[in-house]
Amino acid sequence: MAKGMTKSQIIAGVADAAGITKKQADTAIEALVNMAYKNADEGFTVPGLGKLVLVHRKERQGRNPATGETIMIPAKKAVKFRVAKACKDAILS
């Protein structure tokens, strides 16, 4: 399986594509990430890529795999990323 891109490779790619310095590209990427963190509870959309959303999972029944005992798993918050249709079309076609 191929390795993913490193942070420095992503920054270099953004800098080359935008015609800016690597430091400016790093600052822009960090700003985007921080905005996503702060606004995830309302839903944060990156156009053409997808949407970061906060979901509330209900309490549910589960099973301890070691003992087979039934347990209650408490309600919790989770972060999900919903991929945009444009992204799916670009990658899968």
User: Residue 93: what pLDDT?
Assistant: 87
User: Residue 1: what pLDDT?
Assistant: 64
- The pTM for the full model equals 0.75
Residue 41 β-bridge partners:
none
* 44-46, strands of its sheet edge to edge: 44-46, 50-57, 76-83
Write down all domains in the chain, each with its CATH number in brackets.
1-39 (no CATH), 41-93 (4.10.520.10)
Question: Could you give the CA distance from residue 28 to residue 92 in angstroms, rounded to a whole number?
Answer: 28
Within the chain, which residues score under 70 in pLDDT?
Answer: 1
